[in-house]
Chain A
């Protein structure tokens, strides 16, 4: 298991060092600094083995977080844990920076003590941790209070405490999708997928059981038990249903129930959490198309023409549209003309950045640019990085729909009808690239 955990600043100075196992000595701290942080060549793997000791590291801005072990540990678990730990720290004191870490080092030690015992990760749920790691110095708690804390930390429903009460029971569901695209210069889709997340903010009293319905093909087919035949598949339900390649759930979702009954049921944590993640690759409606035209005119000039087409209902508006057109390293300047939005050549970023605040569906915009190049005699060949796009649209490009989310709470008297429900769809660009 994890033998030790170190946090360094960008210079390699130790900010936090906690050793859990006897086989990790103080020299491990230095080994990582010398061989990874100060390595002459940038390290090319997040796992480094130095003298039979393995170091796992992740970086948050310029902070290095490293886990050390001399055993054959579960590597996926170590990385998941490191990410989780950063999440917990961020939930306590915001951004992970040198200053924040120094300011909270006692807190961090206390958290570490709780979430990692002898190198074994324990309960890392922020909500629960905050109930008893407070930095206020525990005032003598009543017996009931401590009993409640311990049962939550270890409990079967470790993510929610009992006795939550709201005057107004409501929840917010955000369907957040990021569309990823790689397109050839000729407009052929090389790969496209949507990575979706359903983020729920729940403000519900008691221990509510929720049932969640979506328009996934498999789930809907198993619901319409009467028409399971092949002939019925293309029928009424098939039109709006989408094919989800794979989905993953927050630990509150009863996975065995999902596997056997194809239903998503859970008791939600209080407040915000990510209920589900999913991935689709079929029938994605791509909100934008980029058509690039790059012409190299001699050695000192290049002409670029880019057309952006929006491809969704005209009544909808895309926001924060940004097209990033890379330019060669030896660019000396660029004349840019665009019909809509504002475009600028940014030398520091080696790109022309074209921003359009709003853009309705079924529209077309064009930009043309003349790029002047410095004459370099040998210069490495420019590799033409792809043109990338950022945007935000008010629909789910995968076609994902929330069909229902029902709330049942038997002990306290409120019913599904009393719950105020909000659902919102946001489609964002992930890696949305067109080669040129």
Chain B
């Protein structure tokens, strides 16, 4: 007899029939019916209507039937809490059953029923089961605590389950210990009140290490992961833990191996880099990592992503193992691409010949992505190993000869980088490159080719013709190509001014007049101005020496790398992203590597004075884009505001243009004409620099700091603060004052879920320890990627501040205007349409009293705070301002402000899809205008 038949019933009156069968007297028939119900549930049919009937089958001594009913219960209890409650009795009774398998089953299932009323009844049986004589029941109960905590954290903490859980760490049975550890780790991730009672110390770690030798493979993973979260108190402890963890590297389970690697990688930070222990550990890490590459492809993938991090952190590991990363013909594509990445990292002078031979093979494979990456890799080899550059270029030329379109394009992109690295060395190949001009259809390849032509314009006889040919379809090009073309032609002009004036005028006109793209237009104007005012300066800027590009590319930024090392084996290490990027909640707390404190006194001796050793921000290795730096030249990443600023500084002061001479003269006039308004163009540019000057001191309204946490409530800690907005970011300005008698340290801050998902964007960095009677101020950048939960009042944010004395809570009101974003300006038409669309009942009308400004000042003041005036009308002597603003969460609010001259009372009408928002916004207007 098979079970597949249960999947096949699709009749209409099914539910009705099932109901009858479920209430049948025959046991077999009942069981059949429940199986059918489960099958329907699996394929997604709604069988919740049968709830009462199924639950009635629960009281049975047939274990199989019982399990099926439980399965059903777990799925549907939430939808029918009232009926579900009848199951409680059976659960409680089952928890007393003489058979431990049934006791465990009951505990396991109860925890999965997420109904508040039931949860209350669960506590007593659970408490009993945590102390059960049978380890099987205890290990199940341990997990149940985590389940319960997920449903009702407070209940768990109040009922003292945390202590019970902690006691299980000393259990004689290793599996009970392992499950207790798993539960504790999970609770710690979601709750910070649990922190104090569950914090690991060297004593508990010792117990875990003992259990490690005896528990199942999965238990070992839980234990190792938990150990990796512990910060050893000194290097001796770190060393001894490492020694006890290393045997795990020989385990058959890849997860055990990787978790052990994580512990060792983290703890090595504490050890003296030159010590023998570190040398030995480094040696021991390499073989097991290599072995992971013969596991199943999915595990290989996880291993490779992690190896990529490990070799960046400690290049010594695996430096001699290049060959194992050679790609096999049948590897899945995701394994191939990762191997390629690691090959590049391990390339050095000694193995370059082998690597290059391999890469050439790969470039002939079928998969387009893989081939492209291989070609790119050859270029990276050239940049990394100077001795091999020539061979790499040769290989690339061979590949270009194949005429396979995407290979050629990719090759040209990397050759551009090679030119950057070794200027004036390989120009001989330009001719070959130019042959392929017509086949390039990808923007990056086109841009690269244009860059090469511009850069070597003086040596390419027909450079002007080549560039002109690109110019024909200027409008249709990608922005990247347009920018590149503009720059290349200006370069050409500076190098060969006599015969290229026409070309340069043409491109400047295209860029400034016919383009909607502000970047392009601005760059066009800047060039134009440079050329017309001071050609010598233009030459200096446009043809400036370029900074060298770095050897290593795609390096992960060091602070992120350190964080990811703490997450080896986890999803974060697979995505190469911090957990906060893909996980919600508190699990996203940033982890950082411990620091080596050799030379300093051990922490425990001097007390906590140097406990939170100020974490030194490692200097950030700039990414490729910023290294390329030279804005006027390469534009693959787009200029940063900083660079723009710099450029403005390089520009001559906006005095009237000195009369340029010679060929340039002609051009100057031509360009004036281009702008149509003659000198007007200059003014507009002058205005531009004014804007640059004033932007930084825009008068954004920042409310004065107010006391959020009085010292009396904070055990001596006083917190005052306010909110501000700068450079499109929200900041919480905080001042901590220590009014206690002892120094304070170990500050941390956390936000509760709030209406706008506000969350600290970085950990709190504050002077620590904070001596008595001193205060420290800090700007805490915030983002809005947190969890959203509507608060009442809407703008409330609940904050928890922690220090060595305790955890303190306070709540504060976010002034709404810091949430107004810079992009809130609407089109007139859109504004009208939206105004009409929002129903009238959503309109809220309020007055603002005692404002002594005229309409223009008002509009300016609001503008500074990202409220944009879209239109102004004068109706019967009253000024009507129509305004729009947009909140960080995308909610738009439209406003109509009525100002009567001579009257100090304004009428403000607000309209928004979300009505609740209007009240705090009115408040914000009021504050801004009274400032």
**Chain A positions 15-30 with a Cβ under 8 Å from a chain B Cβ:** 15-17, 19-22, 26, 29
Nearest Cβ distance between residue A72 and chain B, in whole angstroms? 4
Nearest Cβ distance between residue B328 and chain A, in whole angstroms? 6
* A112 to chain B: closest residue by CB: B71
- CB of A146 within 8 A of CB of B143, answer no
Partner of A249, one of B35, B71, B251, B366: B251
- CB of A255 within 8 A of CB of B213, answer yes
Partner of B323, one of A69, A190, A433: A190
- CB of A248 within 8 A of CB of B250, answer yes
- Inter-chain CA distance A383–B402, complex, in Å, is 12
- CB of B101 within 8 A of CB of A150, answer yes
* B34 to chain A: closest residue by CB: A106
* B41 to chain A: closest residue by CB: A17
Complex contacts, B112 vs chain A, CB 8 Å: 20, 118
Interface string of A85-129 (1 = CB under 8 A from B): 000000000000001001111110110010001101111110000
Prevailing SS type, chain A contact patch: mixed
- CB of A75 within 8 A of CB of B135, answer no
Complex contacts, B575 vs chain A, CB 8 Å: 47, 49
Partner of A102, one of B4, B147, B176, B329: B4
What number of A residues sit within 8 Å (CB to CB) of B? 99
- CB of B302 within 8 A of CB of A76, answer yes
Interface string of A236-259 (1 = CB under 8 A from B): 000000000111111100111011
- Inter-chain CA distance A250–B253, complex, in Å, is 9
Complex contacts, A69 vs chain B, CB 8 Å: 571
Complex contacts, A156 vs chain B, CB 8 Å: 173-174, 214-215
Interface string of A34-62 (1 = CB under 8 A from B): 00000000001111010010101010000
Interface string of B33-46 (1 = CB under 8 A from A): 00100110011100
- CB of B250 within 8 A of CB of A138, answer no
Interface string of B205-244 (1 = CB under 8 A from A): 0000000011111100110010000000000000000001
* B171 to chain A: closest residue by CB: A154
- CB of B3 within 8 A of CB of A255, answer no
Complex contacts, B737 vs chain A, CB 8 Å: none
Partner of A16, one of B42, B294, B334, B567: B42
* A143 to chain B: closest residue by CB: B98
Complex contacts, A124 vs chain B, CB 8 Å: 216, 218
**Chain A positions 382-400 with a Cβ under 8 Å from a chain B Cβ:** 383-386
With contacts A124-B218, A249-B250 known, is A102 near B290, CB below 8 A?
A: no
- Inter-chain CA distance A120–B216, complex, in Å, is 12
Prevailing SS type, chain B contact patch: helix
* B220 to chain A: closest residue by CB: A251
**Chain A positions 246-285 with a Cβ under 8 Å from a chain B Cβ:** 246-251, 254-256, 258-259, 274, 277, 279
- CB of A154 within 8 A of CB of B139, answer yes
Q: List the one stretch of B411-419, B507-515, B576-584, B822-830 in contact with chain A.
A: B576-584
Nearest Cβ distance between residue B252 and chain A, in whole angstroms? 5
- CB of B571 within 8 A of CB of A29, answer no
* A83 to chain B: closest residue by CB: B296
Partner of A255, one of B216, B247, B296, B584: B247
B326 at the binding interface (Cβ < 8 Å): yes
- Inter-chain CA distance A19–B113, complex, in Å, is 12
* A275 to chain B: closest residue by CB: B252
B523 at the binding interface (Cβ < 8 Å): no
- CB of B247 within 8 A of CB of A117, answer no
B393 at the binding interface (Cβ < 8 Å): no
Complex contacts, A403 vs chain B, CB 8 Å: none
**Chain B positions 250-276 with a Cβ under 8 Å from a chain A Cβ:** 250-255, 257-259
* A254 to chain B: closest residue by CB: B213
- Inter-chain CA distance A46–B299, complex, in Å, is 9
**Chain B positions 12-36 with a Cβ under 8 Å from a chain A Cβ:** 35
- Inter-chain CA distance A70–B222, complex, in Å, is 18
Nearest Cβ distance between residue B512 and chain A, in whole angstroms? 40
B146 at the binding interface (Cβ < 8 Å): yes
- CB of B253 within 8 A of CB of A246, answer no
- CB of A246 within 8 A of CB of B114, answer no
Complex contacts, A49 vs chain B, CB 8 Å: 575, 582
- CB of A120 within 8 A of CB of B182, answer yes
B111 at the binding interface (Cβ < 8 Å): yes
- Inter-chain CA distance A16–B99, complex, in Å, is 29
With contacts A102-B7, A106-B38, A158-B175 known, is A113 near B216, CB below 8 A?
A: no
The interface of chain A, by Cβ under 8 A from chain B, is 1, 13-17, 19-22, 26, 29, 44-47, 49, 52, 54, 56, 58, 69-77, 79-83, 99, 102-107, 109-110, 113, 117-118, 120-125, 132, 135, 137-138, 140-141, 143, 146-147, 149-151, 153-156, 158, 182, 184, 190-191, 193, 195, 245-251, 254-256, 258-259, 274, 277, 279, 381, 383-386, 431, 433, 435
Listed by A's residue number, 21 A-B pairs whose Cβ atoms lie within 8 Å are A14-B42, A20-B112, A26-B44, A54-B582, A72-B570, A72-B579, A74-B569, A76-B302, A79-B298, A102-B2, A106-B35, A118-B112, A122-B179, A154-B174, A154-B175, A154-B176, A182-B326, A245-B290, A258-B250, A259-B250, A383-B365
Other 4 A-B pairs with CB < 8 A, given A14-B42, A259-B250: A15-B42, A54-B571, A79-B255, A122-B139
Top 3 closest pairs, chain A to chain B, by CB: A246-B287, A150-B136, A102-B4
